[in-house]
Structure 1
Amino acid sequence: MADMNNLFGVEVGHIVAGIAGGVVRALTRPGQTLAANVSTAVVGVLCAAYATPVVKTWLGLADADMATQNAIAFGLGLIGMSLAEGVISLGNAWARRPRLPAGAPAADVVNAAADAQESAK
Protein backbone atom coordinates (compact mmCIF):
# COMPACT_ATOMS: atom_id res chain seq x y z
CA MET A 1 0.00 0.00 0.00
CA ALA A 2 1.27 3.47 -0.85
CA ASP A 3 2.50 5.73 1.91
CA MET A 4 -0.39 8.13 2.58
CA ASN A 5 1.97 10.71 4.12
CA ASN A 6 3.89 11.03 0.88
CA LEU A 7 2.55 12.41 -2.39
CA PHE A 8 4.88 12.32 -5.40
CA GLY A 9 7.89 12.20 -3.09
CA VAL A 10 6.72 15.15 -0.98
CA GLU A 11 5.45 14.97 2.58
CA VAL A 12 1.74 15.80 2.68
CA GLY A 13 2.27 17.74 5.92
CA HIS A 14 4.73 20.01 4.13
CA ILE A 15 2.17 20.65 1.40
CA VAL A 16 -0.57 21.50 3.90
CA ALA A 17 1.76 23.74 5.93
CA GLY A 18 2.94 25.40 2.72
CA ILE A 19 -0.64 26.06 1.68
CA ALA A 20 -1.30 27.66 5.07
CA GLY A 21 1.84 29.81 4.85
CA GLY A 22 1.11 30.84 1.27
CA VAL A 23 -2.47 31.76 2.13
CA VAL A 24 -1.38 33.81 5.15
CA ARG A 25 1.13 35.64 2.93
CA ALA A 26 -1.55 36.31 0.31
CA LEU A 27 -4.04 37.54 2.92
CA THR A 28 -1.53 39.94 4.44
CA ARG A 29 -1.01 41.74 1.12
CA PRO A 30 -4.19 43.79 0.68
CA GLY A 31 -5.03 45.23 -2.70
CA GLN A 32 -3.60 42.32 -4.68
CA THR A 33 -5.61 40.70 -7.45
CA LEU A 34 -7.04 37.23 -7.04
CA ALA A 35 -4.49 35.93 -9.56
CA ALA A 36 -1.62 37.49 -7.57
CA ASN A 37 -2.91 35.97 -4.33
CA VAL A 38 -3.35 32.53 -5.89
CA SER A 39 0.12 32.63 -7.46
CA THR A 40 1.62 33.73 -4.13
CA ALA A 41 -0.01 30.75 -2.40
CA VAL A 42 1.07 28.32 -5.15
CA VAL A 43 4.69 29.50 -5.03
CA GLY A 44 4.58 29.19 -1.24
CA VAL A 45 3.35 25.60 -1.49
CA LEU A 46 6.04 24.68 -4.01
CA CYS A 47 8.79 26.25 -1.90
CA ALA A 48 7.55 24.50 1.22
CA ALA A 49 7.09 21.15 -0.48
CA TYR A 50 10.49 20.98 -2.12
CA ALA A 51 12.73 23.13 0.09
CA THR A 52 11.68 21.88 3.54
CA PRO A 53 13.86 18.73 3.43
CA VAL A 54 16.86 20.80 2.32
CA VAL A 55 16.33 23.54 4.89
CA LYS A 56 15.80 21.15 7.80
CA THR A 57 19.03 19.33 6.89
CA TRP A 58 20.87 22.66 6.49
CA LEU A 59 19.63 23.72 9.94
CA GLY A 60 20.83 20.43 11.44
CA LEU A 61 17.26 19.28 12.04
CA ALA A 62 17.25 16.23 9.75
CA ASP A 63 15.68 14.12 12.52
CA ALA A 64 13.21 16.78 13.65
CA ASP A 65 9.71 15.77 14.69
CA MET A 66 6.82 16.38 12.31
CA ALA A 67 5.63 19.53 14.13
CA THR A 68 9.06 21.14 13.65
CA GLN A 69 9.18 20.08 10.00
CA ASN A 70 5.73 21.52 9.40
CA ALA A 71 6.71 24.77 11.13
CA ILE A 72 9.65 25.04 8.72
CA ALA A 73 7.30 24.28 5.82
CA PHE A 74 4.85 26.95 7.02
CA GLY A 75 7.66 29.51 7.21
CA LEU A 76 8.85 28.60 3.72
CA GLY A 77 5.27 28.87 2.44
CA LEU A 78 4.99 32.27 4.07
CA ILE A 79 8.17 33.64 2.48
CA GLY A 80 8.10 31.48 -0.66
CA MET A 81 7.31 34.28 -3.12
CA SER A 82 10.09 36.45 -1.69
CA LEU A 83 12.51 33.51 -1.90
CA ALA A 84 11.54 32.86 -5.51
CA GLU A 85 11.90 36.53 -6.43
CA GLY A 86 15.32 36.63 -4.74
CA VAL A 87 16.59 33.54 -6.55
CA ILE A 88 15.34 34.92 -9.89
CA SER A 89 17.05 38.25 -9.16
CA LEU A 90 20.33 36.45 -8.38
CA GLY A 91 20.02 34.47 -11.59
CA ASN A 92 19.43 37.62 -13.61
CA ALA A 93 22.45 39.31 -12.00
CA TRP A 94 24.57 36.23 -12.74
CA ALA A 95 23.40 36.23 -16.37
CA ARG A 96 24.48 39.87 -16.77
CA ARG A 97 27.92 39.25 -15.23
CA PRO A 98 28.80 35.59 -14.61
CA ARG A 99 31.46 35.39 -11.91
CA LEU A 100 32.57 32.75 -9.45
CA PRO A 101 34.22 33.56 -6.13
CA ALA A 102 38.00 33.68 -6.39
CA GLY A 103 39.52 30.42 -5.25
CA ALA A 104 36.48 28.37 -6.25
CA PRO A 105 37.24 25.39 -8.49
CA ALA A 106 37.30 26.60 -12.10
CA ALA A 107 36.68 30.20 -11.00
CA ASP A 108 39.69 31.53 -12.89
CA VAL A 109 38.59 29.81 -16.10
CA VAL A 110 34.99 31.06 -15.89
CA ASN A 111 36.03 34.57 -14.87
CA ALA A 112 38.61 34.77 -17.66
CA ALA A 113 36.02 33.64 -20.18
CA ALA A 114 33.59 36.27 -18.89
CA ASP A 115 36.28 38.96 -19.13
CA ALA A 116 37.09 37.89 -22.69
CA GLN A 117 33.42 38.01 -23.64
CA GLU A 118 33.03 41.51 -22.13
CA SER A 119 36.13 42.85 -23.90
CA ALA A 120 34.91 41.43 -27.23
CA LYS A 121 31.79 43.62 -27.07
Structure 2
Amino acid sequence: MNDPLQEYGLKMSVIIAGFAGGALRALSRQKATLRETIASPICGALAAGYLTGPLVHYLRAVNFPLPPSGGSDVGMHAAAFLVGVCGMWISDALFEAASRYLKK
Protein backbone atom coordinates (compact mmCIF):
# COMPACT_ATOMS: atom_id res chain seq x y z
CA MET A 1 0.00 0.00 0.00
CA ASN A 2 1.33 3.45 -0.91
CA ASP A 3 1.88 5.83 2.00
CA PRO A 4 -0.17 9.01 1.33
CA LEU A 5 2.22 11.19 3.37
CA GLN A 6 5.29 10.08 1.43
CA GLU A 7 4.72 12.96 -1.01
CA TYR A 8 5.36 15.38 1.86
CA GLY A 9 8.50 13.61 3.05
CA LEU A 10 6.75 12.06 6.04
CA LYS A 11 6.64 8.43 7.16
CA MET A 12 3.46 7.17 8.76
CA SER A 13 5.38 4.97 11.21
CA VAL A 14 7.42 7.97 12.39
CA ILE A 15 4.27 10.05 12.87
CA ILE A 16 2.65 7.24 14.87
CA ALA A 17 5.75 6.96 17.09
CA GLY A 18 5.70 10.73 17.65
CA PHE A 19 1.98 10.64 18.40
CA ALA A 20 2.61 7.91 20.98
CA GLY A 21 5.38 10.01 22.55
CA GLY A 22 3.08 13.01 22.75
CA ALA A 23 0.32 10.88 24.25
CA LEU A 24 2.75 9.58 26.88
CA ARG A 25 3.71 13.14 27.74
CA ALA A 26 0.04 14.16 28.03
CA LEU A 27 -0.81 11.21 30.24
CA SER A 28 2.23 11.61 32.50
CA ARG A 29 1.49 15.23 33.43
CA GLN A 30 -0.23 15.61 36.78
CA LYS A 31 -1.87 18.97 36.06
CA ALA A 32 -2.58 18.60 32.35
CA THR A 33 -5.25 20.85 30.91
CA LEU A 34 -7.66 19.74 28.21
CA ARG A 35 -5.69 21.79 25.68
CA GLU A 36 -2.47 19.99 26.59
CA THR A 37 -4.14 16.59 26.49
CA ILE A 38 -5.41 17.19 22.97
CA ALA A 39 -2.47 19.19 21.62
CA SER A 40 0.38 17.10 22.99
CA PRO A 41 -0.08 14.05 20.73
CA ILE A 42 -0.66 16.30 17.71
CA CYS A 43 2.47 18.36 18.44
CA GLY A 44 4.39 15.14 19.06
CA ALA A 45 3.33 13.72 15.71
CA LEU A 46 4.17 16.92 13.81
CA ALA A 47 7.51 17.38 15.56
CA ALA A 48 8.46 13.76 14.95
CA GLY A 49 7.38 13.91 11.33
CA TYR A 50 9.59 16.85 10.52
CA LEU A 51 12.45 16.67 13.05
CA THR A 52 13.26 12.96 13.28
CA GLY A 53 14.99 12.71 9.91
CA PRO A 54 17.40 15.59 10.58
CA LEU A 55 18.00 14.33 14.14
CA VAL A 56 18.90 10.80 13.00
CA HIS A 57 21.09 12.23 10.23
CA TYR A 58 22.94 14.39 12.78
CA LEU A 59 23.34 11.50 15.23
CA ARG A 60 24.85 9.34 12.50
CA ALA A 61 27.15 12.20 11.42
CA VAL A 62 28.59 12.51 14.94
CA ASN A 63 28.96 8.70 15.17
CA PHE A 64 26.35 8.28 17.89
CA PRO A 65 25.80 4.53 18.38
CA LEU A 66 22.49 3.76 16.67
CA PRO A 67 21.17 0.35 15.65
CA PRO A 68 22.03 -0.52 12.06
CA SER A 69 19.35 0.53 9.58
CA GLY A 70 19.40 -2.72 7.60
CA GLY A 71 15.71 -3.38 7.02
CA SER A 72 14.57 -2.15 10.44
CA ASP A 73 14.05 1.46 11.46
CA VAL A 74 14.31 0.84 15.20
CA GLY A 75 16.66 3.79 15.73
CA MET A 76 14.46 6.12 13.71
CA HIS A 77 11.31 5.05 15.57
CA ALA A 78 13.00 5.45 18.95
CA ALA A 79 14.18 8.92 17.95
CA ALA A 80 10.65 9.75 16.70
CA PHE A 81 9.18 8.68 20.04
CA LEU A 82 11.65 10.90 21.94
CA VAL A 83 11.03 13.84 19.61
CA GLY A 84 7.29 13.29 20.14
CA VAL A 85 7.73 13.47 23.90
CA CYS A 86 9.78 16.67 23.58
CA GLY A 87 7.53 18.21 20.92
CA MET A 88 5.02 19.60 23.40
CA TRP A 89 7.79 21.05 25.56
CA ILE A 90 8.98 22.94 22.48
CA SER A 91 5.40 24.06 21.80
CA ASP A 92 4.94 25.15 25.43
CA ALA A 93 8.11 27.23 25.29
CA LEU A 94 7.04 28.91 22.05
CA PHE A 95 3.53 29.68 23.36
CA GLU A 96 4.93 31.06 26.62
CA ALA A 97 7.41 33.29 24.79
CA ALA A 98 4.67 34.53 22.45
CA SER A 99 2.30 35.29 25.30
CA ARG A 100 4.99 37.19 27.20
CA TYR A 101 5.78 39.18 24.05
CA LEU A 102 2.11 40.00 23.42
CA LYS A 103 1.50 41.11 27.02
CA LYS A 104 4.15 43.82 26.72
- 1 or 2 for the larger relative contact order (CA 8 Å, sep ≥6)? 2
Q: Structure 1-normalised TM-score?
A: 0.62
For 2:89 and 2:83, the matched residues in 1 are separated by 10
Distance in 2 (CA, whole Å) between partners of 1:46 and 1:53 is: 12
CA distance in 2, matches of 1:83, 1:56: 18
Question: CA offsets, 1:47-67, max 9 Å, x none?
Answer: 111100010001116x73411
1:11 aligned residue: 11
2-structure distance, mates of 1:15, 1:52: 9
1:13-47 residue CA offsets vs partner (Å, 9 max, x unmatched): 11110111000000001232222211111111111
Partner of 2:28 in structure 1?
A: 28
Tell me the SS of whatever aligns to 2:32: coil
Structure-1 separation of matches of 2:29 and 2:44: 14
Cα distance in 1 for partners of 2:54, 2:91 equals 15
Runs of 4+ in structure 1 over 3 Å off: none
Classify 1:84/1:32 alpha carbon distance in 2 versus 1 (closer, same or farther; 3 Å). Answer: closer
Q: Structure 1 regions of 5+ residues with no counterpart?
A: 96-121
The match for 2:83 among 34, 56, 76 is 76
Q: Partner letter of residue 16 of structure 1?
A: I
Give me the CA root mean square deviation. 2.5
Paired residues in the alignment total 88
Identity among equivalent pairs (%): 31
Q: 1:43-93, CA deviations, whole angstroms, 9 ceiling, x for partnerless residues?
A: 1111111100010001116x734111111000000111113344x38x87x
Tell me the distance in 1 between the aligned counterparts of 2:42 and 2:49. 10
